[in-house]
């Protein structure tokens, strides 16, 4: 009898669903690439709106139709032209419209003979209803948390904090004080709960209710994984062993794989960095969501100017409150040669560049992980949500950065920027700790 080889097993097929925000799409895309490297087929689900941005921005082409990683999309329920930075509105619409679409999309993905039947759903925990969809369809479910474990642990602790009177049922702290979620947990100021730093009170209320309700869904998840690493948040992983660190997930290190960025990266800044001396350039970037009021924007520009150091500054088109970003008069001429502005950078590669010496950052979690894994110290300028807790990690727990402080009018002045930069770059201890933490993280 002729021997015939056994049929090759069908690869696992995961549907991956991020919340439609840049800091969520990028790490889940990186996780998807890693799973593809391990033999998975992936159907990556963006909203139509985000899908169009990602495909437009991707330098290596859309690659949406073929291969083991398929980029697909479904509607978020909002009309074209609606402001998707209005998180309350976006969240309400997602919750109402996306569960049904996701179900249909899973059925369609399962029917694709090249990808095989969907075996599991990896859902951003900020899309908790997707875990319920997975359960309903008899699929295995994984909850992915794109931010720090402490933020997830705090969110999961909402019912306890309502019961013990730390917060009211709307998430508002009864008083501002320092608490601990457990005996060995890091101290946390109740004024820093992330859901109270989202801008408009109505947005905060909607997002708080949505996340508090979503806490139940995590029980459905077989695994709860988090883009963090053990050493960074040891007490949290001890306190909440169900949350498993799988990070840092660093995007953009392998060329020719879509990173999931919303804006095309301007890689000419890498050539500029190549021409600079080692450890001479300050990298200034505030992620995808931060908005400055025009006065603060001007003050930042003047701070960079008076420092008389080299800098690479990411100035997204929307960095100042929905108006065209206007530099102070004559600024570009005065900093020519030593200052470089780009609309969007290949951040991970920039931070890894030997010319970069420190990172002026809004303390978004991805940026924090990326700075740490490159041994770069921080000047912290948090903007919203959990970024104040990240600032505290950077300055108080890991001690790899310094805070920028606001004056009585709520402005970080040019003098403050210059003085703190001098303090940071003259601080051997902070620089040394940043390098130590890098060795642990990678």
Coil vs helix vs strand at 432:
helix
CB of 44 to ligand UDP, least distance (A): 16
Q: CA–CA separation, 147 vs 145, rounded Å?
A: 6
Strand spans (E) along 169-321: 178-179, 188-189, 223-226, 243-245, 281-285, 310-314
Report whether 289 contacts 24 (CB < 8 A). Answer: no
Coil vs helix vs strand at 179:
strand
**Which residue of 129, 194, 289, 311 would you call a contact of ligand UDP, by CB under 6 A?**
289
**Which residue of 17, 18, 19, 22 would you call a contact of ligand UDP, by CB under 6 A?**
22
**Which residue of 125, 166, 261, 357 would you call a contact of ligand UDP, by CB under 6 A?**
261
Q: CA–CA separation, 404 vs 410, rounded Å?
A: 11
Site residues for ligand UDP, 310-329, by CB under 6 A, read: 314
Residue with Cβ nearer ligand UDP (285 or 434): 285
Q: CA–CA separation, 26 vs 165, rounded Å?
A: 37
* Count of residues that bind ligand UDP according to CB under 6 A: 19
Write the binding mask 70 to 109 for ligand UDP: x where contact by CB under 6 A, - elsewhere: ----------------------------------------
287 is a contact residue toward ligand UDP (CB under 6 A): yes
Alpha carbon 170 to its chain's center: 25
Residue with Cβ nearer ligand UDP (101 or 316): 316
**Assigned token pair, 332:** 């570009």
**Assigned token pair, 156:** 């999961």
Residue with Cβ nearer ligand UDP (133 or 376): 376
Q: What angle do helix axes 129-136 and 87-110 make, rounded to 10 degrees? A: 20
Residue with Cβ nearer ligand UDP (88 or 287): 287
392 prior amide bond cis, ω within 30: no
Candidates 128-136, 194-202, 282-290, 352-360; binding stretch for ligand UDP (CB under 6 A): 282-290
- Please name the residues in contact with 228: beta carbons below 8 A apart, sequence gap of 6 or more: 148, 149, 245, 247, 248, 369
Residue with Cβ nearer ligand UDP (22 or 95): 22
**Which residue of 127, 134, 185, 285 would you call a contact of ligand UDP, by CB under 6 A?**
285
What DSSP state is assigned to residue 394?
A: I
Residue with Cβ nearer ligand UDP (43 or 345): 345
Coil vs helix vs strand at 211:
helix
CB of 287 to ligand UDP, least distance (A): 3
Q: How far is CA 269 from CA 58, 318, 345, in A?
A: 17, 20, 7
Residue with Cβ nearer ligand UDP (74 or 269): 269
**Which residue of 288, 298, 357, 392 would you call a contact of ligand UDP, by CB under 6 A?**
288
248 is a contact residue toward ligand UDP (CB under 6 A): no
**Which residue of 251, 258, 382, 401 would you call a contact of ligand UDP, by CB under 6 A?**
251
Write the binding mask 342 to 381 for ligand UDP: x where contact by CB under 6 A, - elsewhere: --xx-xx---------------xxxx--x-----------
**Assigned token pair, 19:** 């919340």
Q: CA–CA separation, 28 vs 299, rounded Å?
A: 35
CB of 195 to ligand UDP, least distance (A): 16
Residue with Cβ nearer ligand UDP (76 or 386): 386
Residue with Cβ nearer ligand UDP (196 or 368): 368
Which residue carries 């420092």 as its tokens?
Answer: 307
Q: CA–CA separation, 401 vs 433, rounded Å?
A: 9
**Assigned token pair, 366:** 């991805």
235 is a contact residue toward ligand UDP (CB under 6 A): no
What is the binding site for ligand UDP (CB under 6 A)? 22-23, 26, 251, 261, 285, 287-289, 314, 344-345, 347-348, 364-367, 370
């Amino acid at each position: 009898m002729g021997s015939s080889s056994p049929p090759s097993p069908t690869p696992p097929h995961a549907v991956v669903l991020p919340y439609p925000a840049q800091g969520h799409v990028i790490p889940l895309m990186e996780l998807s690439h890693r799973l593809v490297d391990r033999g998975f087929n992936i159907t990556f689900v963006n909203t139509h709106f985000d899908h169009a941005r990602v495909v437009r921005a991707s330098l290596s082409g859309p690659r949406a139709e073929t291969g083991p990683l398929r980029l697909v999309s479904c509607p978020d329920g909002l009309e074209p032209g609606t402001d998707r930075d209005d998180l309350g509105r976006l969240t309400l619409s997602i919750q109402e419209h996306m569960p049904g679409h996701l179900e249909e999309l899973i059925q369609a993905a399962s029917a694709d003979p090249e990808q095989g039947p969907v075996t599991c759903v990896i859902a951003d925990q900020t899309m908790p209803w997707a875990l319920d969809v997975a359960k309903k369809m008899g699929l295995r479910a994984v909850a992915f948390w794109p931010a720090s474990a402490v933020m997830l642990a705090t969110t999961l602790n909402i019912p306890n904090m309502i019961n013990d009177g730390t917060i009211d049922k709307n998430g508002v702290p009864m008083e501002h004080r320092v608490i601990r979620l457990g005996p060995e947990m890091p101290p946390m100021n109740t004024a820093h709960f992330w859901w109270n730093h989202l801008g408009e009170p109505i947005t905060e209320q909607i997002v708080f209710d949505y996340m508090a309700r979503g806490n139940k869904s995590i029980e459905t998840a077989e695994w709860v994984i988090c883009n963090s690493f053990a050493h960074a948040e040891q007490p949290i992983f001890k306190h909440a062993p169900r949350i498993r660190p799988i990070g840092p997930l660093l995007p953009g290190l392998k060329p020719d794989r879509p990173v999931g960025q919303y804006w095309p990266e301007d890689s000419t800044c890498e050539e500029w960095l190549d021409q600079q001396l080692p450890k001479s350039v300050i990298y200034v970037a505030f992620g995808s969501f931060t908005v400055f009021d025009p006065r603060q924007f001007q003050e930042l520009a003047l701070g960079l100017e008076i420092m008389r150091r080299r800098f690479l500054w990411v100035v997204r088109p929307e960095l100042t409150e929905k108006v065209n970003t206007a530099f102070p008069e004559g600024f570009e001429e005065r900093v020519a040669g030593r200052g470089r502005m780009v609309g969007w950078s290949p951040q991970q590669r920039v931070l890894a560049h030997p010319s970069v010496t420190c990172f002026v950052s809004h303390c978004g979690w991805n940026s924090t992980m990326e700075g740490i894994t490159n041994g770069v110290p921080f000047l912290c300028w948090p903007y919203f949500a959990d970024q104040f807790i990240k600032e505290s990690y950077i300055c108080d727990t890991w001690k790899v950065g310094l805070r920028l402080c606001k004056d009585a009018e709520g402005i970080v002045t040019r003098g403050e920027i210059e003085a703190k930069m001098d303090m940071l770059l003259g601080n051997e201890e902070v620089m040394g700790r940043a390098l130590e933490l890098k060795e642990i993280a990678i």
